[in-house]
Structure 1
Amino acid sequence: MSESVETRPETTAVMTEPVPDLQLQLLIQLLDRELRSSLPITLTLTGGVLHGDVIGHEAWKADWARSLRQVEGEGANLIAEFPETVDQGIRELSTGEGTTQLPRWIHLRDATLVFGGTGSLRLPLWRGRLADVSGWALGRPQ
């Protein structure tokens, strides 16, 4: 006589994502302390190489809000307040966590994205996920 025991695999889903470079996270956290701070940087991404001036979140948000104020149309007033609205929502979601998290995003001003040496795209502002950066160096290519 044999007994069978039904076993079920663990059904809890686990989200995983690449781990950002800790030194780059700490550098960005340092830049977040001063609105006017920036450093020239070159990033390696899956799609190519990106270089520009890395800035903190608050500096990027101020520049982004300034660029949104230049948008014309009936919704222009609403969109100009969008960066602060987003930050307010994030603050509300993270209330009660009690710990300061390391940055998960990187922000560049006056950026140039180079695609495999065939072309480039100039961007006044750029925001990307730190986990998507596979390499970086201070300075810009010459």
Structure 2
Amino acid sequence: MRVMLQGEAYPDPYLELLRVGVEHREVAEAVVVTLVMDGVLVTGTVISASAWEDLYFRQVGEADYYGLRKVVREVIGHLDQAAEDGRRRRAPDPRFLHLKDVTVRSGRTARRLPAWRGPIAAVSGWSLGEPDER
């Protein structure tokens, strides 16, 4: 409820409720949203920041961007060790929304992405679900 009352701190309190709910595991994992950002439609399943981070590290590690595979493995090792020691990862950044199994539509073009991270403040409109393919 506090999120709903804070006004300008959160551009859209209802979208923020989805983000917070996923971070606290109170929202079902299969919440699909379609976002409008600069005239582009972004559709995907809302995930937590830590789930997105895991996907990100996996992608970077598998592709070996600029020789980062070794660095990524070290970072993952430190994160895993911290989790085993009972320490939390840093708090999720509330400015960003994270999606998986994403489709980005611009005009007649649609592209699939495994994961996506974008600023909530850039969302000009959104809806639960995905658009009809017709």
* TM-score (norm: length of structure 2): 0.69
Match of 1:42 among 34, 39, 46: 34
Task: Judge conservation of contact 2:43–2:103 (CA < 8 Å) in 1.
Answer: yes
1:104 Cα deviation after fit: 1.0
Instruction: Identify unmatched segments of 5+ residues in structure 1.
Output: 1-16, 85-89, 92-99
Going from structure 1 to structure 2, the CA distance change for 1:38 and 1:58 (only over 3 Å counts) comes to farther
1:9-33 per-residue CA deviation (whole Å, 9 max, x = no partner) reads: xxxxxxxx99521111121111012
Report the equivalent of 2:83: none
Going from structure 1 to structure 2, the CA distance change for 1:74 and 1:46 (only over 3 Å counts) comes to closer
Task: Judge conservation of contact 2:31–2:129 (CA < 8 Å) in 1.
Answer: yes
Larger Rg: 1
Match of 2:119 among 129, 132, 141: 129
Going from structure 1 to structure 2, the CA distance change for 1:48 and 1:33 (only over 3 Å counts) comes to same
**Structural mapping, 1:21-100, within 5 Å:** 21-34=12-25, 37-72=29-64, 74-80=67-73, 81=75, 91=90
* TM-score (norm: length of structure 1): 0.66
Larger proportion of helix: 2
Report the equivalent of 2:131: 141
1:105 Cα deviation after fit: 0.3
Task: Judge conservation of contact 2:100–2:115 (CA < 8 Å) in 1.
Answer: yes
Going from structure 1 to structure 2, the CA distance change for 1:69 and 1:102 (only over 3 Å counts) comes to closer
User: Matches of 2:37 and 2:9 in 1, distance apart?
Assistant: 13
Report the equivalent of 2:101: 110
Task: Judge conservation of contact 1:18–1:132 (CA < 8 Å) in 2.
Answer: no
Instruction: Identify unmatched segments of 5+ residues in structure 2.
Output: 1-7, 80-88
- SS of structure 1 residue aligned to 2:52: helix
- SS of structure 2 residue aligned to 1:63: helix
> Identity of counterpart residues, as a percentage?
34
Say what the alpha-carbon RMSD is for the aligned residues.
3.0
